[in-house]
A = this chain, B = another copy of it.
Amino acid sequence: MRVRDDHDGRPHVVIIGGGFGGLICARELAGELVRVTLVDRSNHHLFQPLLYQVATAGLSPAEIAVPIRSVVRDAENVTVLLAEVTGIDLASRRVVLRDEDPLDFDYLVLAAGARTSYFGHDEWAHVALGLKDIDDALEIRRRVLLAYELAEHEDDPERRRKLLTFVVIGGGPTGVEMAGAVAELSRFVLARDFRRIEPRATRVLLVEAGDRVLSAYSPELSTKGLKQLEELGVEVRTGAKVTHIDAGGVHLGTELVPAETVVWAAGVRASPLAETLGVKLDRGGRVMVAEDCSIPGHPNAFAIGDIACFPGPGGKPLPGVSPVAMQQARSVAANIVHSVTHQPREPFTFLDKGSMATIGRSRAIAEMRGIELSGFLAWLAWLFVHIWYLIGFRNRLVVMLSWCWSYVTYKRGARLITGRLFTDGAATVADPPKRP
């Protein structure tokens, strides 16, 4: 008999996704009168806010990821299942898995998150890489580092310029962090390592379709963010719409920016699992949830985090950030316990503690309950909050140490190009990513 089909009388809660929402929900349900199955298609929880650091060789994957099993090892009523969910049948309360027996649930918490969206241009994916998981980050790291290596022994100046042009599309926090980190990598870390090319001459272009970067912040903070980006040498183009991306580079209307490495941070869309529910979704593919985060018509099924659309103040949906997911997770866990113990549910309310974006070593902007910070102070706040929330003590310590070391020496520890380079011919950075 399978553990997840065991019936000991306790209601069965199935949580889909081991991100911030799913993991916090499982931890909150530890020791409660339910049995929990946490399903994820990866074995690790990822601290996504620092993923850009892996993509730019500042941190190693293991420094920002932790095995889900370790996090819930002491929660005896929680079982972790490494499997891919292919569909959800709300009517028969059943989760369908790939190549596995389905899971029956009494309560469902859908926390499957979002993935990179190219707004209908999936053919751009080969050139413009998204940044959502460790494999994405390692592929970006590989391409960025390889671009310098190829530029170092490239004779054609045009081709060399193309290799040393990095375009980041999307001026939100992820795009700004990526652009800042690539600029720093070039100017400080790689500067002395090459003989022929001048890594400082790297062109980092940040393309934003709207009229300002970091538009979730006030115009003043946004301007301060822009200024800090420009100090790092990032070229910012606002009001620039990407019309096409191919091996030649990024097309902005009639203008072609020749670039070998393109990072796509312009948009995400909810996990396609939402589409299998047969309920109303918003334009971003997110489930329109009720005030207790339940799926309308299915009071025992909840959606939280990036896969849910929850109307915040003024009816504007809450943003897809980790504090929303974590607070929703706590609320949903509490409401499941309330239901099991026949108590009334409580509606979810979001407490906005602020948000921050880093622009590079000692540069950032932050907004906390009406207080706006920028520059070094904002960066210190960012550093403190991010290390604080890293799950697992070892990670915190190791990450802190890695950063202190990089800060003092301008070295980066994780500058590895992995994956066979020369098995089937010479490496070219325009190769589409092939993965196992």
Interface residues of A (CB under 8 A from B): 2-4, 41-44, 60-63, 65, 67, 69-70, 73-74, 79, 81-84, 98-100, 134-135, 138, 145-146, 149-150, 152-153, 155, 192-196, 394-395, 397-398, 401-402, 405, 409, 411, 413-423, 425-426, 431, 433-436
Contacts and interface: CB of A to CB of B under 8 A. Distances in A.
A394 B401 CA distance: 9
A8 to B, nearest CB: 13
A411 B85 CA distance: 29
A193 B69 contact: yes
Contact of A62 (B67, B401, B413): B413
A25 B179 CA distance: 38
Contacts of A84: 421-422, 426
22 contacts: A2-B153, A3-B153, A41-B422, A44-B415, A44-B417, A61-B416, A67-B193, A67-B415, A70-B415, A84-B421, A84-B426, A99-B425, A99-B426, A134-B416, A134-B418, A135-B418, A135-B420, A394-B402, A395-B413, A397-B405, A398-B398, A398-B413
A436 B419 contact: yes
Nearest to A84: B422
B398 A420 contact: no
Contacts of A196: 3
Contacts of A398: 398, 401-402, 413
A43 B145 CA distance: 9
Given A43-B417, A62-B416, A419-B135, A411 B394 contact: yes
A436 B426 contact: no
A1 to B, nearest CB: 8
B417 A435 contact: no
Contacts of A100: 153, 426
B394 A413 contact: yes
Nearest to A192: B73
Contacts of A413: 62, 394-395, 398
A126 to B, nearest CB: 13
Nearest to A68: B193
A24 to B, nearest CB: 19
A84 B149 CA distance: 13
Contacts of A70: 193, 411, 415
Nearest to A139: B436
Given A69-B194, A195-B79, A422 B62 contact: no
